[in-house]
Amino acid sequence: MTRLAALAVLLVACRDHAEPVEAGSALDAEAAADASPLDAAPVSSWTVLTDAATSAPLDAAASRAAGPLDAGASACKRIYGPARQPFDGPAAMAVRGDRLELVTNDRGKPQITTVPIPASLTAVVPPSLAEPAHLRDTVHPPCAIAGETVYCVGPGSILTRFPREGAPKEVATVIGVRGIAAAPLGSGHDVVAFHQQRKTSEGFVTEGWISLDGQPPEHLSEEGSGATALDLAVAPTPPGAPPEVLALSLDARVAMTPMHARHVTLDAASPTRLHLGTDEVVFIGPLAEPGTVPRLGTSRSAAYALAAWPRDAADFGLSVVPLPEALRIDLPAVWSIYPNGLDPAPLAATRGSDPVAVARIVPAGRELPTDPKRELVLELGALAADGAFLSAGEVARGRRLADLSVTRDDKGAVWLLWSDNDGTWLERRVCP
C-alpha cells in the first residue's frame, strides 16, 4: 500500500461519529448566544496600564551601565534591552504605529503595557524599571490579539471577546489550559479558535472550535477528529483576493499526530458567516509530547507550519512544513535537530514580513531534563524559502526559559519577549 493510500485509509478510520456533548461540559451555540456580557467601560474594554517614557539614545556612560548592546553569540545586534517588564509571565505582542503593545491576561481581562518604538535602528537604553513592591502577575493562557480585538480566558474557563471599543462579550466555555488563538479576518472581523471536549463512542475527545466576531462557535476540527493544540494566522494572499486565515491543529494519538490545516474565509453570500475550506492532513508527525504546540509563521507570500517534537526514537527537533496555497495531504518537512528533547519546547514566529523570524528554546547540551546543571538557550533565527531554519545564534540562556513571544516592527527590527527565573524581559534586535 502506498503512503498516500495509507493516509486515505487513516482519514476514513478517524471519522467516527460523535454523540452530542453532555450538558454542562461546554457552552453550546444556544447558550453562547444567550450569554450575558461582562460589565465594561463605556468607551474601551481594554485597560492601558503603562505608557513607558521615551528611550534615551545610547551614550558611553549609559553603555557601561547597561552592558554592551551587541554582546553575545547572536548575529542579530541588540539595540534595546533586555528590559525587565512590570509583570511576570506571558504576553501577546502587537505593533501599533510607533508603539509596541504587550497584552497580558489579568484574570480574564486584557491589560496593555505600551512601549514606544524608537524612531530609528540606533541603539537606545530603555527606561529602567524601578523595583516594584509587587510585579503584576499574569494568567495562563495568555490573551490572543486579533486586530482591534483581544480574546482572554478568565475564571470558570470563560472565553471573552474584548473589542477596543465597546462592551465585552462571552463566547464559550473552553479548555483553558490548552490555550487559544485569534486572528483578524478582513476589515472589521476577527476569529478565535479554542478547545472543547465532546463525548464520543470512545470517550471524551478534545476538539477545535472557531467563532467569528464572538458569534456562536462552530466545529473547526472535522467530525471524528480531535484537536489537542492549534494556531491561527492571516494567510498571505495575492492583491485583491478575499482575506483568509490559516487554521493549524494537531491531533495527538497513541502512536502518531496528524497535523491538520485549512483555510478560513468569510462566506461569499453572507459576510457574517464563516466558510471553512477543506481540512487537509498536511503532515503526519510522531507521538506529540504533552506540551507540543504548533505555530504558524508567514511572510508576505508564504506560510509555514512549525512544531518541535521527536523526529524518531533518537532525534528531537523543529519540523517546518511549507504550506502551499492549495493545501494537500502529506507535505514534506524540513528538520532542525536539537541537542536533546524538551517538553514543552516553546516556539514563536513572525507574521506578514520577510523573512519569517523564529524564536525557539532549545537544550544547551545533551544533559537529561533531570540534570540540575541543565541549561536552556533562547535562539533566534529565520526561515529560508524552503523552510530550513537558519540560526542567528543565542539570545539568552538559563535554567528556566519560557513565555516566548516575537514580532517585527515596521522598521524591520525583531522584538523578543521571554521569562526566566529573574523576571520577564523585552529586547529589540536587528538581524542581517
The reported pLDDT for the residue numbered 139 is 85
Residue found by looking up cell 456562536 in the block: 216
**68 class by beta-carbon count within 10 Å (0-12 exposed, 13-18 middle, 19+ buried):** exposed
Q: Mention the CATH class of domain 3-430.
A: mainly beta
The reported pLDDT for the residue numbered 270 is 87
Long-range contacts of 62-65 (CB under 8 A, 24+ apart): 62/125, 63/125, 65/125
Grid cell listed for 179: 490555550
The reported pLDDT for the residue numbered 132 is 59
CA torsion angle 108 275 178 388 (round to 10)? -120
User: Exposed e or buried b for every residue in 389-421, given b needs 16+ CB within 10 A?
Assistant: bebbebbbbbeebbbbbbbbbeeebbbbbbbbe
8 Å CB contact between 338 and 363: yes
Per-domain residue ranges of the chain: 3-430
Grid cell listed for 408: 517585527
Grid cell listed for 134: 509587587
8 Å CB contact between 245 and 232: yes
Classify strands 87-88 and 136-137 as parallel, antiparallel or unpaired: parallel
Which residues in the chain come in under a pLDDT of 50?
A: 1-43, 52-54, 58-72
d(C-alpha 169, C-alpha 187), whole Å: 20
The reported pLDDT for the residue numbered 271 is 84
8 Å CB contact between 307 and 259: yes
The reported pLDDT for the residue numbered 131 is 62
Grid cell listed for 273: 458567516
The reported pLDDT for the residue numbered 368 is 87
The reported pLDDT for the residue numbered 42 is 39
The full 3-state SS of the chain, as one line of letters, equals CCHHHHHHHHHHHHCCCECCCCCCCCCCHHHHHHCCCCCCCCCCCCEEEEECCCCEECCHHHHHHHCCCCCCCCCCEEEEEEEECCEECCCEEEEECCEEEEEEEECCEEEEEEEECCCCCCCEECCCCCCCCCCEECCCCCCEEECCEEEEEEHHHEEEEEECCCCCEEEEECCHHHCCEEEECCCCCEEEEEEEEEEECCEEEEEEEEEECCCCCEECCCCCCCCCEEEEEECCCCCCCCCCEEEEEECCCCCCEEEEEEEEEECCCCCCCEEECCCEEEEEECCCCCCCCCEEEECCCCEEEEEEEECCCCCEEEEEEEECCCCCCCCCCEEEECCCCCCCCCEEECCCCCCCEEEEEEECCCCCCCCCCCCEEEEEEEECCCCCEEEEEEEEEECCCEEEEEEECCCCCEEEEEEECCEEEEEEEECC
d(C-alpha 347, C-alpha 169), whole Å: 30
CA geometry: angle 45, 49, 52, nearest 5 deg = 135
